[in-house]
Amino acid sequence: MPKSIVCDASCLILFNKIGSINLLYQVFGSIIITDTVAKEFGHPIPEWIQVRPANSILLKGLLNILDAGEASAITLATELDDALLIIDEYKGRKVARKMGLTVTGSLGVIVIAKKKGHISSVKEFIEKIERTNFRISPSIIQYVLNEVGES
């Protein structure tokens, strides 16, 4: 597991909507977000989430192509050694990967949670997610369910 876990707002918002924000703590222990992500999340920040500014000049360049939360999360991940970035938006993931970052999304977190024994059913979480406004393609759902043997 990487030393640092950096999270964009989408995962926090989604897990909060489905009543499972503490799953991030169970899986990773602590995560790091930027002050911009904290504002986008818009809820009290649990004590196991560290808030740090993203300071590099990279942030200014990324703001030309990504929203502020994504840009700040990617920037912070580049400033840390051995970081895993949790980001759901396709464009942000693509940019982060081009920059050499290790990336996963909210569904990836749920898969890790199952593999570590924190949850028994990925399908149950996907059903909760489908009741929100979070969009997941059917092909990705099927891929994830196949990966954990729940298809």
Closest CA to 125 of 6, 1, 17, 3: 17
Cβ pair 10, 128 in contact under 8 A: no
- Count structural domains, the chain: 1
Q: Mark the ranges of the chain whose per-residue pLDDT is less than 50.
A: none
Look up the CATH number of the domain holding residue 63. 3.40.50.1010
* Residue 87: domain span: 4-147
Reported as a single tens digit per residue, the pLDDT across 112-151 is 999 999 999 999 999 999 999 998 889 999 999 999 999 8
pLDDT at residue 2, rounded to an integer? 80
**CB burial of residue 149 (10 Å; 0-12, 13-18, 19+):** exposed
Provide the pLDDT for residue 151: 81
What pLDDT score does 26 carry? 97
